[in-house]
Amino acid sequence: METTVIWDEFSEALKRFIYNRVKNNEITNDLLQEVFIKIHLNIHKIKKQESIKSWIYTISTNTINDYFNKQSKLRKLNSESIEYDNKNETEHSAKDCLLPLINNLPSTYKLAVYLSEIKGIKQAEIAKQMNISLSGAKSRIQRGRNLLKQGFIDCCDYKLNEVGYLVGEHKDKKDCKVCSTNT
């Protein structure tokens, strides 16, 4: 059996099957495409034509489960505090304030900013990992950066120069309003 025949026969039913589990049209379409890529790549492995329906639904179920497992991991990371081990450093720097300030961000921005600023992941990959659009990822990162900027102003008494960059002397840890409470 060819992939196009399988598509014609099963795509609408699979779409309903997936939608009933994820309740989102965009995610449903993405998962449906992923299922058919897997079908296309593995169609040669099917031995009995009569078992094709159960094989297709098994692939679909596994793809849906993979999606929810990934979402669960992202939610867990997004809700947890992000930790940074700076116990060996004797001097306090702006870098030491960064993770406490990221942890104080609203959950909408925390993961996007962490992945971008700490992990150095590209915005397109962040969008993919978070299952949001590229423009959504860019927006979350930009808004999160602005909140971080305000956090440095509030915590460490930095100021914005005429072109919008943070400037100022970094304080000792005991004088920081955020870092001193997050030890």
This prediction has a pTM of: 0.49
pLDDT of residue 32: 92
Instruction: Give the span between the Cα atoms of 7 and 15, in whole angstroms.
Output: 11
pLDDT of residue 110: 87
Residues of the chain with pLDDT under 50: 86-88, 183
Residues of the chain with CATH 1.10.10.10: 94-181
pLDDT of residue 15: 95
pLDDT of residue 178: 62
Identify the CATH number of the domain defined by range 3-79. Answer: 1.10.1740.10
Contact 115/129 with Cβ under 8 angstroms? yes
Q: Which class in CATH covers the domain with range 94-181?
A: mainly alpha
pLDDT of residue 175: 66
The number of C-alpha atoms within 13 Å of 54 and in the hemisphere containing its C-beta is: 5
pLDDT of residue 105: 85
Residues of the chain with CATH 1.10.1740.10: 3-79
Query: What sign does the dihedral 105-108-113-119 (CA atoms) show?
Result: positive
pLDDT of residue 33: 92
CA 101 to chain centre: 19
pLDDT of residue 183: 46
pLDDT of residue 164: 75
